[in-house]
Chains A and B, each alone.
Chain A
Amino acid sequence: DTEVTQTPKHLVMGMTNKKSLKCEQHMGHRAMYWYKQKAKKPPELMFVYSYEKLSINESVPSRFSPECPNSSLLNLHLHALQPEDSALYLCASSQDYYNEQFFGPGTRLTVL
């Protein structure tokens, strides 16, 4: 299995909602990532988990809360988001931090 899966594909939420994005990989990769991508921009790194521990937080606002329940799963919990948080949220995984990354299809998030 060489896929990274993400759910949901699309999400519309209000500014007072709480929602979660999910990511899963079964390639035995030990590094997992959350990226945010706005239109016509490259992916912007948010968080990195290495061996199930948070190793990088790129000064992301606390309304985004990552979680890595086990080596295959990565969640991103969302609370009190702003309209400017609307974007494509990409999950990726790699064997180790400096290896090539495999991206999931992303969750298209709209905050109203």
Chain B
Amino acid sequence: GQQVMQIPQYQHVQEGEDFTTYCNSSTTLSNIQWYKQRPGGHPVFLIQLVKSGEVKKQKRLTFQFGEAKKNSSLHITATQTTDVGTYLCQGGSEKLVFGKGTKLTVNP
């Protein structure tokens, strides 16, 4: 069945360092969504990518969708303590499937 793999599972960085999380799908995706879940909170929608090779930016966050529409990445430049949380990708193919998430901690 459709699977979405997300790596790394955990990432600890010093404030100011960059951070990247990757999602890889076993099947070609129609779209991919990224969410952020703060500790004790609920997933909050960040972005949706639909087109092959698409790149979108939100301030310090850069999202990419691979040319083959099987992988995606989220890159944060110069992390801040407010970036802590779990970043979840959700791939849309036959179904919408979440990756396991990357938990980001930031040392001030």
How far, in whole Å, are A97 and B90 apart by their CA atoms in the complex? 13
Residue in contact with B42 in the complex, picked from A44, A99, A103, CB distance below 8 Å: A103
Q: Is B31 within 8 A of A42, CB to CB?
A: no
- Chain A, interface SS category: loop
Q: Mark B32-64, 1 if CB is under 8 A from A, else 0.
A: 010100000111110010000000000000000
Task: State which size class the interface on A falls in.
Answer: 10 to 19
Question: With a CB–CB cut-off of 8 A, which chain A residues contact B88?
Answer: 42-43
How far, in whole Å, are A90 and B95 apart by their CA atoms in the complex? 18
Residue in contact with A100 in the complex, picked from B42, B48, B95, B99, CB distance below 8 Å: B48
Q: Mark A30-47, 1 if CB is under 8 A from B, else 0.
A: 000000000011111100
Q: Is A43 within 8 A of B96, CB to CB?
A: no
Residue of B nearest to A6 (CB): B42
Q: Which of A57-71 contact B (CB under 8 A)?
A: none
